[in-house]
């Protein structure tokens, strides 16, 4: 039986999808490629914004319309929050959430769809792998429904994390990212996520190691020194900044202020050589003034963020922020998002221009438009030319120029996978 799995949202969702696919493979399913018609379509939904929910619903309807005979399965955050509503809207045959997604294979078996179990490997589609080491959140941000969708924080034991990364390395993965919903909450055997990264690098021999989104208050000297001490650590950090305004940060119930943002960014740049920073920002939060907005732009400039993921504020039912006065209109939020994306694009270009002439280590993933593309250690999309097949190779190259999505580079050395 063929299954097509469509994932929306964050790296944690991508990891969950990989786990679902492993369970289905053990039950006899194979993953359909883009040219095959699937017997089962699974949509791993996202609920971080109202737009994410709409896209999840749209993906489900599209899957059903393209193949009316397929079994439609919904799972993930959106279906955890609104199971029956999404079932009614999409006609899904099976709906699970974040806590019972492991039941999908059993539920499909109950429909007598599962073929005899076979030793089937899940398709390896990339050289990079995400390992979800933490789930849930206790932060209580005023705008967020994720704690309700995923529950309280839980951490994967150190031994299991090392085992999973080690398994990925044995299968040929060259890069692993330790991801989670709230990495600040990770604790196992007395270790935080930086100490865990040290242990993973020591035990597994992974060639490249990253950590997922971090909270700005995590950027202490000790935290950054631990990461800097890891030879395999890729010098890139993605920060959940959200705003550069003290007033808005208080309304968001974030656990830091403008000054601590400045201090954390400075510490990261000082302690981690050549570190590249990216960030999440929210535009159009209730009552956000022009001054508040300008302070966010100022923070983007100060951080020299290589990329900024800009979210329009989304009033999620059941959150404190949804009830706050002075809500922005859709048009107002769209204008603020447009301005922030435009400004951050200029900052990103300047950050890339500073990289020209520097040495890059690029994990090549694919060939497109005559170039071989991949990500440098700084998580900058980079491309090189070659007459050979570079897919899966780790190449050393010198950055020559900026292109619209990153850097052009010339190869100086190549390692096989």
**How many C-beta atoms surround the C-beta of residue 251 within 10 A?**
20
Digit-by-digit pLDDT tens for the chain (417 residues) are 899 999 999 888 898 999 999 899 888 889 988 888 889 999 999 999 999 999 999 999 999 898 888 999 999 999 999 999 999 999 999 999 998 988 998 888 777 554 444 433 434 445 899 999 999 999 999 999 999 999 999 999 999 999 999 999 999 999 999 999 999 999 999 999 999 999 999 999 999 999 999 999 999 999 999 999 999 999 999 999 999 999 999 999 999 999 999 999 999 999 999 999 999 999 999 999 999 999 999 999 999 999 999 999 999 999 999 999 999 999 999 999 999 999 999 999 999 999 999 999 999 999 988 999 999 999 999 999 998 899 989 999 999 999 987 999 999 876 654
The ranges assigned to domains in the chain are 2-110, 128-354, 356-415
Q: 356-415, what's its fold? A: OB fold (Dihydrolipoamide Acetyltransferase, E2P) (2.40.50)
- For every residue of the chain, which 3-state class applies, written as one string? CEEEEEECCCHHHHHHHHHHHHHHHHCCCEECCCCCCCCEEEEEECCCCHHHHHHHHHHHHHHHHHCCCCEEEEEEHHHHHCHHHHHHHHCCCEECCCCCHHHHHHHHHHCCCCCCCCCCCCCCCCCEEEEEEEECCCCCCCCCCHHHHHCCCEECCHHHHHHHHHHHHHCCCCEEEEEECCHHHCCECCECHHHHHHHHHHHHCCCEEEECCECHHHCCHHHHHHHHCCCCECCEEEEEEECCCHHHHHHHCCCCCHHHHHHHHHHHHHHCCCCEEEEEEEECCCCCCHHHHHHHHHHHHHHCCCEEEEEECCCCCCCCHHHCCCCCCHHHHHHHHHHHHHHHHHHHHHHHHHHCCCEEEEEEEEEECCEEEEEECCCCEEEECCCCCCCCCEEEEEEEEEECCEEEEEEEEEECC
Residue whose C-alpha is closest to residue 7's, from 160, 141, 125, 175: 125
Half-sphere exposure (CA, 13 Å, Cβ side) for 7?
13
Read off φ and ψ for residue 297, nearest 5 degrees: -60, -40
pLDDT of residue 163: 97
Q: Which two tokens stand for residue 417?
A: 């996978």
Q: Which pLDDT score, from 0 to 100, does residue 414 have?
A: 66
- pTM of structure: 0.86
Question: What pLDDT, on the 0 to 100 scale, is given for residue 287?
Answer: 98
Q: Which pLDDT does position 141 carry in this prediction?
A: 97
Q: Kindly report the CA angle at 7 between 157 and 36, in degrees rounded to 5?
A: 125
Q: Are 136 and 150 in contact (CB under 8 A)?
A: yes
Output the pLDDT for position 115.
Answer: 46
252-262 in b/e form (b: 16+ CB < 10 A) is bebebbbeebb
The C-alpha atoms of residue 59 and residue 202 are separated, in whole angstroms, by: 41
Q: Which CATH architecture has domain 128-354?
A: Alpha-Beta Horseshoe (3.80)
Is 2-110 a domain of CATH 3.40.50.12160? yes
State residue 93 phi and psi, 5-degree precision: -80, -35
Tell which residue, 52, 12, 46, has the closest CA to residue 212: 12
In the beta sheet, which residues pair with residue 374?
A: 364, 382
Number of C-beta neighbours around residue 150 at 10 A: 22
Q: Which residues contact 160 (CB under 8 A, 6 or more apart)?
A: none
Contacts of 117 (CB under 8 A, 6+ apart): 26, 27, 28
- Residue 116's pLDDT is 41
């Amino acid at each position: 039986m063929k299954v097509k799995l469509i994932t929306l949202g964050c790296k944690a969702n991508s990891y969950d999808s990989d786990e679902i696919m492993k369970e289905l493979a053990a039950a006899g399913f194979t993953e359909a490629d883009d040219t095959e018609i699937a017997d089962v379509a699974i949509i791993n939904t996202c609920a971080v914004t109202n737009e994410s929910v709409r896209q999840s619903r749209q993906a489900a309807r599209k899957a059903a319309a393209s193949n009316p005979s397929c079994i439609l399965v919904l799972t993930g955050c959106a279906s955890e929050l609104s199971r029956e509503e999404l079932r009614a809207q999409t006609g899904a045959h099976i709906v699970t959430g974040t806590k019972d997604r492991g039941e999908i294979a059993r539920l499909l078996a109950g429909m007598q769809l599962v073929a005899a179990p076979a030793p089937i490997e899940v398709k390896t589609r990339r050289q990079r792998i995400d390992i979800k080491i933490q789930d849930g959140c206790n932060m209580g941000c005023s705008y967020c429904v994720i704690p309700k969708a995923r529950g309280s924080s839980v951490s994967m034991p150190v031994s299991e994390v090392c085992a999973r990364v080690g398994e990925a390395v044995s299968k040929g993965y060259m890069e692993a990212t330790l991801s989670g919903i709230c990495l600040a909450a990770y604790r196992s055997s007395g270790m935080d996520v930086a100490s865990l990264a040290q242990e993973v690098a020591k035990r597994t021999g992974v060639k490249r190691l990253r950590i997922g989104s971090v909270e700005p208050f995590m950027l202490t000297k000790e935290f950054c020194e631990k990461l800097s001490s890891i030879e395999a650590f890729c010098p890139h950090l993605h920060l959940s900044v959200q705003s550069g305004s003290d007033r808005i940060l208080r309304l968001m119930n974030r656990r830091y202020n403008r000054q601590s943002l400045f201090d954390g960014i400075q510490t990261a740049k000082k302690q981690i050589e050549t570190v590249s920073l990216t960030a999440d920002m929210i535009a159009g939060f209730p009552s956000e003034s022009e001054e508040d907005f300008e302070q966010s732009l100022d923070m983007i400039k100060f951080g020299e963020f290589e990329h900024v993921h800009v979210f329009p504020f989304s009033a999620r039912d059941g959150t404190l922020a949804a009830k706050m006065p002075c809500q922005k209109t859709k048009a107002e939020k769209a204008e603020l998002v447009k301005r922030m994306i435009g400004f951050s694009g200029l900052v990103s270009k300047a950050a890339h221009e500073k990289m020209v002439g520097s040495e890059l280590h690029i994990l090549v993933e694919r060939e497109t438009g005559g170039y071989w593309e991949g990500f440098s250690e700084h998580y900058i999309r980079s491309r090189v030319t070659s007459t050979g097949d570079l897919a899966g190779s780790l190449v050393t190259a010198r950055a020559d120029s900026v292109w619209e999505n990153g850097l052009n580079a010339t190869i100086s050395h190549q390692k096989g996978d």
